[in-house]
C-alpha cells in the first residue's frame, strides 16, 4: 500500500488582453484577473513532502504558460493508502515486476474493495470512473490492459484506462 495524496491548487492569473472577459471582475481580485485551479490525486512510493516537490518541480514549469500568476495556494492531504491511484478514467500503480495477470488481479481486487466499501456513493464514483465494468479496461491506444507503453515504462508504472 502506498500513500495517496489529494492535491488542491488555486492561483490567480491575468486574462489574455484579447478576451472579452478581461473586463470582468472576480471577487477579491483586481480587474482583469481571475481565479484558476486544479485538483488531482497523486500516489507516492513512500510518504513525501508533496507540497515541497510541487513548489520546486511542478509550479515553476507549469506557471510559465500563465499570465502573471499570483496568490498561489497549495493544499495537500493524505487521502488514504492503497495500491492504485485514480486519474481521469484511468488508474495506475507502480511497476514492481508484476505479470499482466498479477496486475489485473490486483486491479480487480481494488475495484471490488472500493465498490463495496462504505464510502459515500459519489466518492466511489469519482474513485472508480467506470472501472467497475471490466469490459472497459484497456491500455493506451485501445491495446489490451495493462498498459506498458514507453511512457508508462519511463514513469515506472503500469496503467489501466477505462
Q: Residues interacting with Zn ion, by CB under 5 A?
A: 140, 147, 149, 152, 159
CA 11 – CA 39 distance, rounded (Å): 12
Structure-block grid coordinates of residue 148: 506498458
CA–chain centroid gap for 153, Å, is: 18
Please classify residue 145 by burial: count the beta carbons closer than 10 Å to its beta carbon, then call 0-12 exposed, 13-18 middle and 19+ buried.
Answer: buried
* In the complex, least distance from residue 147 CB atom to Zn ion, rounded to whole angstroms: 3
Question: Is the Cβ of residue 129 or residue 152 nearer to Zn ion in the bound state?
Answer: 152
Cα dihedral: 134, 137, 142, 148 (round 10): -140
Query: Do the Cβ atoms of 137 and 162 come closer than 8 Å?
Result: yes
CA–chain centroid gap for 5, Å, is: 9
* In the complex, least distance from residue 98 CB atom to Zn ion, rounded to whole angstroms: 14
* In the complex, least distance from residue 100 CB atom to Zn ion, rounded to whole angstroms: 13
Question: Is the Cβ of residue 44 or residue 95 nearer to Zn ion in the bound state?
Answer: 95
3-state DSSP call for residue 67? coil
Question: Is the Cβ of residue 33 or residue 159 nearer to Zn ion in the bound state?
Answer: 159
DSSP annotation of 145 reads S
Question: Is the Cβ of residue 73 or residue 143 nearer to Zn ion in the bound state?
Answer: 143
Question: Is the Cβ of residue 87 or residue 140 nearer to Zn ion in the bound state?
Answer: 140
* In the complex, least distance from residue 149 CB atom to Zn ion, rounded to whole angstroms: 3
* In the complex, least distance from residue 113 CB atom to Zn ion, rounded to whole angstroms: 24
Amino acid at each position: 500500500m502506498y500513500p495517496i495524496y489529494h492535491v488542491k491548487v488555486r492561483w490567480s492569473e491575468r486574462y489574455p488582453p484579447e478576451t472579452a472577459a478581461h473586463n470582468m471582475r472576480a471577487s477579491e481580485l483586481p480587474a482583469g484577473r481571475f481565479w484558476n485551479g486544479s485538483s488531482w490525486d497523486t500516489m507516492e512510493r513512500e510518504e513525501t513532502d508533496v507540497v515541497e516537490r510541487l513548489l520546486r518541480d511542478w509550479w515553476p514549469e507549469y506557471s510559465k504558460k500563465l499570465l502573471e500568476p499570483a496568490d498561489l495556494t497549495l493544499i495537500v492531504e493524505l487521502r488514504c493508502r492503497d495500491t492504485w491511484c485514480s486519474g481521469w478514467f484511468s488508474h495506475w500503480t507502480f511497476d514492481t515486476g508484476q505479470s499482466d495477470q498479477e496486475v489485473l488481479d490486483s486491479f480487480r481486487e481494488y475495484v471490488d474493495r472500493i465498490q463495496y466499501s462504505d464510502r459515500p456513493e459519489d466518492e466511489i464514483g469519482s474513485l472508480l470512473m467506470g472501472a467497475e465494468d471490466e469490459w472497459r479496461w484497456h491500455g493506451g491506444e485501445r491495446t489490451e490492459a495493462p498498459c506498458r507503453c514507453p511512457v508508462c515504462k519511463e514513469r515506472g508504472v503500469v496503467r489501466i484506462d477505462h
